[in-house]
A and B are shown apart, each in its own frame.
Chain A
């Protein structure tokens, strides 16, 4: 069924079709609508979900952990400061191997206080042990939300699916919804080995773990993350085979014969594809790489993509405040260290606090990359693109 939906409406629809056992949530801009719309589905009897309106995000994700440990399929939604308040519990969800799914709407972190998009919130949680999936558009956000449940439950790790705040969350797009009955069929039932509510087989969950075993448990969690990418590829293929929409781990657009490329994450991928089209019409060999999966970092897929071109402009909608530039830039420099071919890299930090990025601006970045290719070196490693007095 083809419908017009905002990103928030699409994620709420996905949640309705998933029909999770428990949703515990606390609303926050720009993710408020996801929670609000889902609460309406609960009130209208459209889902069987136990809805827990918590008094904070910290409580919401804590309730999610308890429910997930009891064996329930659990989801929530948040953004920005809300995710920051969940931070402590995010690590616990991952360590206890609870496959909770968060519909996350990317918004900058304070300060300064701002409600618009950048990726500092989700990337601030990048080391928490959660699978992170970024969406270029509303369709992808909807599809990824459904896929994430299956990925998380197969990997026994929690997952967050992100949209870009306001750009996707409040922008309306044409999307194709799956049939209601097909989503539970695709997901199946959650199977658990242990449950907190199984009184006949009692367990202790999450006890104090000191010098003798902490490291082993952490190593096991690291191993789980090491095994996630094949699971993601399997679920993406199953989804594609069944519903006709195939997704890559790393999205390559007109890359094979490209001389220069940019690497982006999130909704800027759509804007950049238009810039690529325009430049291609003028005969310029430009390509695009889009990181759809950020955690685990898809090392070999990304290396294959980066090595296809001579110069890559890495666009980060976040800064690490470490003097080393943005998150994607750091990851890519790291994986290229052992590579036989290393393209020139330049980091463009852009769009912080929701500052718009236009097709023309992206075209100008490509022009800059051609100049670097001609010069054979990078003039400046990290630039702040679109800020006054760069």
Chain B
């Protein structure tokens, strides 16, 4: 407990440093894992737009893969990937 601040030391009004959730890796919440198929992907970036955890890695407007440190396995990317493309499939997470 000793390293934690007392109430008098806290900034007024529930203000903390920005972007601290970066340090909170939510990937271990996942029960299903999205598998991205590089050969099928048309790089429309719909998955990147819809991903609620910014876990689609994009470089130079091309999908590079999935950031499993943050991906919670919600499956929205697989659902939104165009039906004719089907570049993302969900598989059970196994130890």
Contacts and interface: CB of A to CB of B under 8 A. Distances in A.
Contacts of B8: 220
Main secondary structure of the interface of B (DSSP, over half): loop
Contacts of B20: 204, 207
Given A202-B18, A204-B19, A204-B20, A97 B5 contact: no
Interface residues of A, number: 23
B6 to A, nearest CB: 7
B4 A95 contact: no
A194 B4 CA distance: 23
Interface string A218-233: 0110011000000000
B12 A193 contact: yes
B17 interface: yes
Interface-central residue, B8, B12, B13, B16, by most chain A CB under 10 Å: B13
Nearest to B9: A216
A215 B1 CA distance: 14
Contact of B17 (A96, A98, A203, A223): A203
Contacts of B18: 202-204
A244 interface: no
Interface in B1-41: 4-8, 10-20
A217 B16 contact: no
B10 A95 contact: no
Contacts of B19: 202, 204
B4 A98 contact: no
Contacts of A209: 14
A97 B12 contact: yes
Contacts of A193: 11-12
A98 B15 CA distance: 12
B6 A216 contact: yes
A96 B12 CA distance: 8
A96 B11 CA distance: 11
A202 B19 CA distance: 9
17 contacts: A96-B14, A97-B13, A97-B14, A98-B13, A193-B12, A202-B19, A204-B15, A204-B17, A204-B20, A212-B4, A213-B4, A216-B5, A217-B7, A220-B8, A220-B10, A223-B7, A224-B12
Instruction: List the 5 shortest-distance A-B pairs measured between CB atoms, nearest first.
Output: A97-B13, A202-B18, A216-B7, A219-B7, A220-B7
Given A213-B5, A224-B12, 15 more contacts: A96-B13, A96-B14, A97-B12, A194-B11, A204-B15, A204-B16, A204-B18, A204-B20, A205-B13, A212-B4, A213-B10, A216-B6, A216-B7, A220-B7, A220-B10
